[in-house]
Amino acid sequence: MMMVGLLIALSAQADSQVYVGNHMSYVSGNELFRQCEDKEPFGQTICAGYVAGAVDALEFARGINPKAVAICLPQNPAAERGQLTDVVRAYLAAHPERRQLGAATLTFMALRQAFPCR
């Protein structure tokens, strides 16, 4: 049932498309930040789900072209899921001047800053 609610909430956000350069994002950094800072579990779940989806997309891209993704995540993503969400939440809080950008772009920026490949 929670998954149905999550899908409804995400589809409701489809009206608010954000354009960054030539790239479109359905969720802005402001919207993701509001969800991440929500005191209710539902908003926090949307935030964590968004970050998990972005991480899955990054890992998929890495599988296609390992050099395309300059992020080296912790080796146990399931155990670190909360940590990854915390990194994105902290980045959004620290950079309000960038939150008009797409949430996917900001998630990538946050993870690249926190987990650069060495």
Judged against a pLDDT cut of 70, whether residue 101 lies above it is answered with: yes
Chain-centroid distance, C-alpha 22: 19
Instruction: Give the pLDDT confidence of 1-47 residue by residue, as tens digits.
Output: 444 343 344 444 444 444 444 456 689 999 999 999 999 999 999 99
Six-digit token string for 13: 């956000």
The pLDDT assigned to 11 comes to 40
- Report pLDDT for 81: 80
Residue 2: what pLDDT? 42
- Can you tell me whether residue 82 is helix, strand or coil? helix
Tell me the C-alpha to C-alpha distance, in Å, between residue 30 and each of 10, 19, 21, 27: 14, 13, 17, 8
- Which run of H or E residues covers position 20? strand 18-20
Residue 24 confidence (pLDDT): 60
Pairing of strands 23-25, 18-20: antiparallel
Domain ranges of the chain: 2-114
Query: Any idea which fold 2-114 has?
Result: 10k-s Protein, Hypothetical Protein A; Chain A (1.10.890)
